[in-house]
Structure 1
């Protein structure tokens, strides 16, 4: 294909940018689809928050049940053994357990009896990463709209009435458990109960393990989401590059073709692509080349028409001018004969030109029907013989069986092809010669052959005879009797029927020309095929 050629004037005129108004480009759509999927995965933060709430609730239930178990077994345990039991439970469950007498005075504290204790941390004394962790905790709680926990505060006087849990347990007589936030936003799980002898029991633990587990899961999920997001963005850009960029190249090239800035715009064929994009690029390139060929053919046809019409018009004008100045009757009759021949030649030219110019347009929207070539040729030869054939030329046809040589096409156009081939064969045949016509099935095609006994077509001329207005006529034929469009029209019709027409040597090596027309064979399952 010819390279891009742009005039110097056009070099300074930028091509209009390809834009997508009313929507997003394909790159952003690909990126959005992949990121939305990751956003759905980010919903795991909601799950982690619900996981924390479930773990805290489970701890509250467990603490309340332990208080109830201690209340049930306390009456059967001596006071000295009870303190030892509470110290052991404190160590086992990492809880600070306090025991108050009926008057509310502290009588046992695991923190001073060798049991477990908790230590509240001042957030201001912690490193920066803990501040960042708490900020992220607060941000996630705000996003998921988590119910905030009340702050944990030690009473000024360590007496039973200073603890709200103990006051609630004394009022209801049931075990009470609550969850509050320590200053560093770690959950404080507390449980209180009133014993049978009037003593009150309080157990408090700082569940830092819940906070550590939740933060660890969030960190892992954040790492996974970050890596997935980066991978998704990279893959989206890669996918957009492999899809969008070739499409943009094709769009810009087709825009240049549409604007006509460059006569030979190079459409990228993308030969390295073996996918749908590559197939689209090659189809667009082939379509553009076919369009150029059609335009070139139209321009050439218009130039040829102008050239072919000038000769008879000039001859006609000369004859008419001479009629006005010549007084000799014989010379006037001769000039009048020339004018009549030129008018007839112009009439043939205009008729054939009109026929050639509308063939493609008519074939593009014509509905093809099954046509039995054997029956069609037989009827045409009978009609031609009834009219009489010049110079005693004989016609022979080996008719195939009915419904054998059947093609899909337009009967009127196929008649025109056969007529042009027969006219060509008869005009080149010597007096009394034989023109043989055959129609046979060859593989998946119907082969129509027309053989004559004329001078034949030299191999160098077998392609040029199908050009428009190219005419090599017999020596005994008067000039201008044919327009030179017959074989060109025949080829256009045959190619419009997805067939081909070629010139070959005769099988018997005798003198003459052989025109072979190959047309696709109509199959039995094609609509409209039935024996008469």
Structure 2
């Protein structure tokens, strides 16, 4: 009995600390029922919190572009030159693009969080995967405009078993973060290595690193740090998305400050 109670105490303590834990297996019927009831309550509360947070974030994030579109549309009713009209129309298109990006990211996260297994797993060459991500036209443009250089530490060919689209999205997210947070004319390093159990991808930037207050919130839905050059924040869904992708692959993601150097290092571990 004391052992079962101890399991429940540890379980509830971990829940209170925000840890993602599984309900303990308990033989005694009374304690097993209590454990199941706590687990059901936790899931229900998390679901309600997610919905509330989802709605609040959607409202907040969509309000800015919607207001911008309305204001711009009202201005278009006024007499103006062709160049002014063209600029206002482009503002509307930009605002629409931001709304579409947010909605698509939320839908992608919703779909991936409902999945419990991979589809279409194949052998993937990591170097080719990195090349696909870096040569994407929009990403290549950002890299060039910021004068960022990439250094590679890849000693040989590394292969992982993964769902290609998801693996590419996970890698793209951490590279995009590195681009956002590293200063212009700096270097991002990508290192591939292997342990006894995992293929390890590390992306290191030369930014300011992860602030102390942000370290425990990095993988929360909608949490985002301000970009150092613009002060703007992302939608706070990228790292959460990556964490779910890695979980589906039986792997992990971590994001820590570099040792004795400026910047952060994101680490993806895919099982062998």
- Give the alignment's TM-score, normalised by structure 1: 0.41
Show the counterpart of 2:132. Answer: 380
Deviation at 1:411, TM superposition (A): 1.9
Asked if 1:351 corresponds to 2:104, the answer is: yes
1:356-371 aligned at under 5 Å gives the runs: 356-361=109-114, 363-367=115-119, 369=121, 371=123
Within the alignment, does 1:392 sit opposite 2:147 as a pair? Answer: yes
Quote the Cα distance in structure 1 between the aligned partners of 2:47 and 2:249: 18
Conserved in 1, the CA contact under 8 Å of 2:133 and 2:168? Answer: no
1:378-457, aligned counterparts within 5 Å?
A: 378-380=130-132, 383-384=135-136, 387=140, 389-390=143-144, 391-399=146-154, 401-402=156-157, 406=160, 408-457=161-210
Distance (whole Å) between structure 1 residues aligned to residue 157 and residue 249 of structure 2 = 21
Q: How far, CA to CA, are the matches of 1:432 and 1:384 in structure 2?
A: 20
Q: Structure 2: which 5+ residue stretches go unaligned?
A: 1-22
Q: What residue is the counterpart of 1:36 in the other structure?
A: none
Q: What residue in structure 2 maps to residue 494 of structure 1?
A: 246
Correspondence for 1:513: 264
In structure 1, the partner of 2:224 is: 471
Matched, 1:311 2:68: no
Distance in 1, Cα, partners of 2:71 & 2:189: 43
| Greater Cα radius of gyration, structure 1 or 2 | 1
The 8 Å contact of residues 124 and 162 in structure 2, kept in 1 or not, is answered as: no
- Selected match of 1:301 from 50, 54, 66: 54
Give the conservation status (yes or no) of the 8 Å contact 2:118–2:163. yes
The 3-state SS of whatever aligns with 1:468 is: coil
CA 1:479–1:298: 2 relative to 1, 3 Å: same
User: Residues of 2 paired with 1:410 and 1:284: CA distance?
Assistant: 35
Which residue in the other structure is 2:3 paired with?
none
Distance verdict in 2 for CA 1:335–1:436, change over 3 Å = same
Distance 1:382 1:486, change over 3 A: closer
Asked if 2 retains the 8 angstrom alpha-carbon contact of 1:374 and 1:401, the reply is no
CA 1:287/1:510 → structure 2, altered by over 3 Å: closer, same or farther?
same
Aligned mates of 2:246, 2:33 — CA distance in 1: 28
Cα deviation per residue 1:82-125 (whole Å; 9 max; x = unaligned)?
xxxxxxxxxxxxxxxxxxxxxxxxxxxxxxxxxxxxxxxxxxxx
Q: Matched residues in 1 for 2:162 and 2:37: separation?
A: 28
- 8 Å contact kept, 2:117–2:248: no
The separation in 1 between residues aligned to 2:194 and 2:36, in whole angstroms, is 32
Given the superposition, is the C-alpha separation of residues 334 and 479 from structure 1 closer, same or farther in structure 2, using an over 3 Å criterion?
Answer: farther
**Aligned-pair distance for 1:422?**
0.7
- Per-residue CA shift, 1:191-211, capped at 9, x if unaligned? xxxxxxxxxxxxxxxxxxxxx
Structure 2 length as normaliser, TM-score?
A: 0.74
In 2, Cα distance between the equivalents of 1:345 and 1:320? 17
1:465-488 deviation per Cα after TM superposition (whole angstroms, max 9, x unaligned): 4333443343544958x5443223
